[in-house]
Amino acid sequence: MSLQNWQEHKRPFAAIAGAPILWLALFFIVPMAIVWAYSFGENSGAADIVISGTLHNYKRAIEALYLSIFFKSLAVAALVTLICLIVGFPVAMAITFASDKWRPWLLLGVMLPFWTNLLIRTYALMTVLGGNGYANKALGALWGSASWLRTLVGLQPLEVWTPVQLLYNNFAVVLGLVYVHLPFMVLPLYSALDRLDRSLIEASLDLGAGHLRTLSRIVMPLAAPGIFAGIMITLIPALGAYLTPDLMGGTDSQMIANVIERQFKRANDWPFGAALSFMLIYAMFALVALQSLRGRRKPAQVH
Toward another protein, which CB reaches closer, 16 or 155? 16
d(CA 121, CA 129): 12
Toward another protein, which CB reaches closer, 115 or 159? 115
> In sequence order, what are the residues at sequence separation of 6 or more whose Cβ sits closer than 8 angstroms to the Cβ of residue 170?
76, 249, 250, 252, 253
Angle at 281 between CA 66 and CA 49, to 5 degrees: 75
Q: In the bound complex, what is the minimum distance in angstroms from residue 84's beta carbon to another protein?
A: 11
d(CA 174, CA 68): 18
Q: Check the CA dihedral 204-206-209-215 and report its sign.
A: positive
Angle at 68 between CA 64 and CA 74, to 5 degrees: 145
Q: In the bound complex, what is the minimum distance in angstroms from residue 276's beta carbon to another protein?
A: 8
Segment (H or E) for 284: helix 270-302
Contact 267, 218 (CB under 8 A): no
Q: In the bound complex, what is the minimum distance in angstroms from residue 58's beta carbon to another protein?
A: 15
Q: Which of 204, 226, 207 is nearest to 216 (CA)?
A: 204
Toward another protein, which CB reaches closer, 7 or 156? 7
Toward another protein, which CB reaches closer, 148 or 282? 282
Toward another protein, which CB reaches closer, 23 or 148? 23
Toward another protein, which CB reaches closer, 4 or 301? 4
Contact 248, 257 (CB under 8 A): no
d(CA 61, CA 267): 15
112 half-sphere exposure, CB direction, 13 A CA radius: 6
Q: In the bound complex, what is the minimum distance in angstroms from residue 153's beta carbon to another protein?
A: 28
Hey, how many other C-beta atoms are within 10 angstroms of the C-beta on 187?
A: 20
Toward another protein, which CB reaches closer, 93 or 147? 93
Toward another protein, which CB reaches closer, 33 or 149? 33
Toward another protein, which CB reaches closer, 29 or 75? 29
Contact 254, 263 (CB under 8 A): no
194 half-sphere exposure, CB direction, 13 A CA radius: 16
> Phi/psi class of residue 149: alpha, beta or left (left: φ > 0; alpha: ψ in -120 to 50)?
alpha
